[in-house]
Structure 1
Amino acid sequence: MYAIVEMAGQQFKVAKDQKVYVHRLQTEEGKKVTFDNVLLLDDGKNVTIGAPAIDGAAVEAKVIKHLRGDKVIVFHKKRRKGYRKKNGHRQSLTEIVIESIVAKGAKKAKAAEPKKAAPKKEAAPKVEAKKAAPKKAAGKADDLKKIEGIGPKIAETLIAAGIATFADLAKTKAEKISEVIADVRGNHVTDTWPAQAKLAADGKWDELKKWQDELDGGKPA
């Protein structure tokens, strides 16, 4: 009677009283060990094939000793690179002797259940404080620099305050405009800006250009 059984990650054809060298087992010397992953059994009359293992079949063995196998030389070389590396290896083995082959009724060894990791606490999502974005005027802003006396810095300041179009500027009083641009360096005269913006908003560019020729920095020359 013989069996094909998986032991320590390898498949062996074994019979009673046969000595087998397998990869190192954790079982102590002199102790018995059971292998229940039997793939095939032949009792001399019938051949039983597992799917993949035969239920109830097992191979019982006894650990004789732990040892190390013969040295194997591992040599690496790379052509035209000047690379050579030589290593030796001795596999850790266990010598066992097969004591019996059980066809039915063997109890399968219970595999140790892995410990369940404690559920991780989900970190509370970080709430990032949003920086207040500067107010943007709805719609497309006009080029306020076309107004005599308004430069890039003043135009940027007015747009940030919500005065982004010629129509917005035309509706804003000169005093209010002065308050808005108070932090912009320079002496700014805003008296004519609403009127200029009104002409620009109405599309009266020729009239605006003629008037601007008479102005100096937004005030009459």
Structure 2
Amino acid sequence: MYAIVEIAGHQFKVEKDQKVFVNRLATEEGEKVSFDNVLLIGDGNNVTVGAPAIDGAQVGAKVVKHLKGDKVIVFKKKRRKGYRVKNGHRQALSEIVIESIVASGAKPAKKAEKAAPKKETKKAEPKVEAKAAPKKAAGKADDLKKIEGIGPKIAETLIEAGIATYADLAKAKPEQISEIIADVRGSHVPDTWPKQAKLAADGKWDELKELQDKLDGGIEK
């Protein structure tokens, strides 16, 4: 006999004595649980289908242990924007073993509930004295976004720091630029930005394009 049952938001095809890994249940290890959202039961050539669930049907199980799944890496990147974010995730799971499948007349038992995610307690943030806002550069600013690796937020930050033109950027040192954009989210490598800005300031757009074709997010390949 087998059954298709919904457990913690997912559907599983289960048989007696089968071990199943499901989303973390709010049940202690060693305790027994039951699932009454049984969608289908098969017994040889007899198949019973619910509408959507089968009345009186129930799958009984025992929680063996709680564990975490394999780590999954999520990497996001935006080409030519200098944007790279890497995150890892391990799903909280429960290992259960199926003890019984009842087609009808099941007695009410303790139902398993999906464990609620733990709330993270926010730590008190230290008070930081407000810094004086930097003076904005006077005059018309160049479109710094034409420099590979510079996005709208970085361009805005540079302009507020007084680097508003290609000529200004060409004179700046990469270490100085890194300090200015330190609070901008993402990983940014400004090593080639002054070199690109110098070509743009001199109007050498063809040479700039050739250089940018060799870059990846403003970084030399």
Whichever of the two has the greater Rg, that structure is 1
TM-score by length of 2: 0.49
TM-score by length of 1: 0.49
